[in-house]
Amino acid sequence: MSSEETNQTKEKLRDLKIKTSNLEPHSTRRRELGKIADEYAERFYDGIQNGKAYNTFDDCIKKKTDLPVPETGVGANEVVDILENEIIPPGLNLASGRHFGYIPGGGIHSAAIADYLAAVTNRYASVYASSPGAVVLESNMVQWLCSIIGYGEGAGGYLSSGGSIANLTAVVAARDDSGCKSESYSRMVVYLSSQTHHCVDRALNIAGLGECVRRKISLDDRYRMQPAELRKAIKLDREKGLIPWMIVASAGSTDTGAVDPLNELADISEQEQLWFHVDAAYGGFFILTEEGKQLLNGIEKSDSAVLDPHKGMFLPYGTGALLVKDVEKLARSHRYEASYMQDARSAAGFYSPADISPELSKHFRALRMWMPLQLHGVSSFRNALQEKLALADYLWSEFREMDEIDVSPKPQLSIFMFRWNPDAENVNELNRQLHKKMVSDGWVFLSTTEIDGNVFLRVAVLSVRTHIEEADELLMTVRRLIKEMKASNNVA
C-alpha cells in the first residue's frame, strides 16, 4: 500500500469510527438511556397493582408492532413509548399477582438487575477458560440445586433456557445411556401419564425417538401414577419383547399439580433397571418447604430431574435447570471435537456448561439466580413458596364452600381446578363462557383444562405478587361474573 493509499484508508476508518460511535455511547448518553428505561420500569411496576391481568387485543396488534427497521436510529423516548404503549400491554400481564393461569412466576426485580449486569459484562458463561467466574457461578447454582433435591457427589447439570429444553437434554442422556441403537428405538418404552407435560412428548420426537412406545400409566383419584399399574405394564412389555427404558414422573403436574409417588416409582426403576426422570419444573422448588420436602421424597433417587427457576424462584423467563445424578452421562451425550476449541479445554476439575449441554455461546444465566439468592437469602424464597401453598389451600376451601362450584381434590402443591356446576345441561359450555367473560373482563386471569370430558378452570398460585388480597380478588371476580351471567339469563 502506498503512503497515500494508507492515508486514505486511515481517513476512511476514522470516518467510520465516528459513524459507529452511537453503538458505544459515552457515560452521559448511557445514563440518559438508562434513566429513560428505568423510569419506564418504575411506571410498569407502579401500574401492576391497579392494572388488569389480561388486556384483550385484536389483529391490529400486528400492524401496530410491525414497525419498519429505520436506516438511522430514532430517539430513545420514541422507542420506549412504542414499547410501553404498543408492545407490552396486549395479552397476559405475566407480572400481575392476579395471574393464576398456566404456571405463573412473576419476575423479581433483583433478577432483572442481574440480567442487566450480565448483559453489560457479557461474560462467556459456557467455557471456563474464557469466563471462569461465570462458569463457577453456574456450577455453584447447579450444585446448590443438586443439594436441595438430595443428589450427592458426582451429580451435575446446567442452567437451560427453560423446562422444555432441560427435559429434552434429559431424554437425550437417557437415550444414550440405554445403549440402544436406532434399530431398537421402535421397541423402547417410556412410561408416563396423561399428566406428563407435552414437552416430554416433543422431546422424544426431537431426540429421534418418535417411534418409541409411550405407555400412559393410569392415575389414581388425585391424578397420580399408580405404581402397581406401572409394574404390570413393564411386565407385559417385557413379555411382548419390548424394551422398557425410562419412567417420567411429574413432581407437580401442570394441569392438576399432582405429584407422582416418587419413592415407589424410584424403587420400580431400580428393580427394573430403568432410567428414572422427574419433571419437577413446576413443583421442584417446593422442596424448600417442609410440606414440599415430604411430598417430593424420593426425587433424590432419580437419575435426572428438571427444576424451573423461572417458575418456583420467580425469575424472569429464560431459566430452567437439568440435574443429572451422574454428570458423566450428560458429558457423554455432549462430547464434541473442534480444533478451534482446543484452548478452551480446562483442567478445572469440573465441566463447563458447553461440555454438558447443547449451547455454546450462552447468556450469563447464573447471575440472575445467584444475585437474588445472595441479596434475599433462601428463607425469602422458602417463605414465598410457603405463602403460595397456604393461598392455594385457602382458595380451594373458599371455592369448595361456594354454591354451585365443584372443586378438584385438595391441592397437593399450589394448583387446583374448579368448575361452575349449576343445574343445567350445558355445563361445559357455561364454563367456557365463564372463562371467556373472565378473559374479556381481564381483572384476573385463569386458564382452562379438560379432564375426562369436563371443562375446568385452573387456579395456579405461583406469582410472587399473589398475596391474600389478590386471592380475595379472584374469589370476588368469579362470584361477580357468575352473577352477571345468571342475570343476563345465560343460565337455564
Q: What CA–CA distances, in Å, run from 267 to 230, 250, 275, 407? A: 12, 16, 11, 33
Closest to ligand PLP by CB, 159 or 354 = 159
Q: Count the neighbouring beta carbons within 10 Å of the beta carbon of residue 159.
A: 28
Closest to ligand PLP by CB, 306 or 405 = 306
Q: Does the footprint of ligand PLP cover residue 289 (CB under 6 A)? A: no
Residues 170-199 that bind ligand PLP (CB under 6 A): 197, 199
Q: Does the footprint of ligand PLP cover residue 139 (CB under 6 A)? A: no
Q: Does the footprint of ligand PLP cover residue 131 (CB under 6 A)? A: no
Q: Does the footprint of ligand PLP cover residue 282 (CB under 6 A)? A: yes
Q: Does the footprint of ligand PLP cover residue 164 (CB under 6 A)? A: yes
Q: Nearest to ligand PLP by Cβ — which residue?
A: 163
Closest to ligand PLP by CB, 288 or 321 = 321
Distance CA 392, CA 292 (A): 14
Asked whether 486 and 433 are in contact (CB, 8 A), the reply is no
Q: Does the footprint of ligand PLP cover residue 411 (CB under 6 A)? A: no
Q: Does the footprint of ligand PLP cover residue 254 (CB under 6 A)? A: yes
| Of the residues 115, 138, 279, 300, which one makes contact with ligand PLP according to CB under 6 A | 279
Grid cell in block for residue 316: 424472569
| Of the residues 92, 103, 148, 233, which one makes contact with ligand PLP according to CB under 6 A | 103
Q: Does the footprint of ligand PLP cover residue 281 (CB under 6 A)? A: yes
Q: Which stretch binds ligand PLP (CB under 6 A): 163-171, 383-391, 449-457, 467-475?
A: 163-171
| Of the residues 106, 150, 157, 163, which one makes contact with ligand PLP according to CB under 6 A | 163
Closest to ligand PLP by CB, 137 or 203 = 203
**Smallest distance, ligand PLP to C-beta of residue 88, A:** 20
Site map (CB under 6 A) of ligand PLP, residues 234-253, x = contact: ----------------x---
Q: Which stretch binds ligand PLP (CB under 6 A): 70-78, 161-169, 178-186, 381-389?
A: 161-169
Q: Which stretch binds ligand PLP (CB under 6 A): 121-129, 159-167, 460-468, 480-488?
A: 159-167
Q: Does the footprint of ligand PLP cover residue 308 (CB under 6 A)? A: yes
Closest to ligand PLP by CB, 84 or 201 = 201
Q: Which stretch binds ligand PLP (CB under 6 A): 132-140, 158-166, 393-401, 451-459?
A: 158-166
Q: Which stretch binds ligand PLP (CB under 6 A): 69-77, 262-270, 275-283, 469-477?
A: 275-283
Residue located via cell numbers 421397541: 187
Q: What is the 3-state secondary structure (H, E, C) of the chain?
A: CCHHHHHHHHHHHHHHHHHCHHHCCCHHHHHHHHHHHHHHHHHHHHHHCCCCCEECCCCHHHHHHCCCCCCCCCCHHHHHHHHHHHHCCCEECCCCCCECCCCCCCCCHHHHHHHHHHHHHCCCCCCCCCCHHHHHHHHHHHHHHHHHHCCCCCCEEEEECCHHHHHHHHHHHHHHHHCCCHHHHHHEEEEECCCCCHHHHHHHHHCCCCCCEEEECCECCCCCECHHHHHHHHHHHHHCCCEEEEEEEEECCCCCCCECCHHHHHHHHHHHCCEEEEEECCCHHHHHCHHHHHHCCCHHHCCEEEECHHHHCCCCCCCEEEEECCHHHHHHHCCCCCHHHHHHCCCCCCCCHHHHCCCCCCCCCHHHHHHHHHHHHHHHHHHHHHHHHHHHHHHHHHHHHCCCEEECCCCCCCEEEEEECCCCCCHHHHHHHHHHHHHHHCCCECEEEEECCEEEEEEECCCCCCCHHHHHHHHHHHHHHHHHHHHCCCCC
Residues 13-32 that bind ligand PLP (CB under 6 A): none
**Smallest distance, ligand PLP to C-beta of residue 199, A:** 5
**Smallest distance, ligand PLP to C-beta of residue 105, A:** 9
**Smallest distance, ligand PLP to C-beta of residue 120, A:** 25
**Smallest distance, ligand PLP to C-beta of residue 329, A:** 21
Q: Does the footprint of ligand PLP cover residue 357 (CB under 6 A)? A: no
Task: Note the residues at the interface with ligand PLP (CB under 6 A).
Answer: 103, 162-164, 167, 197, 199, 250, 254, 279, 281-282, 308, 320
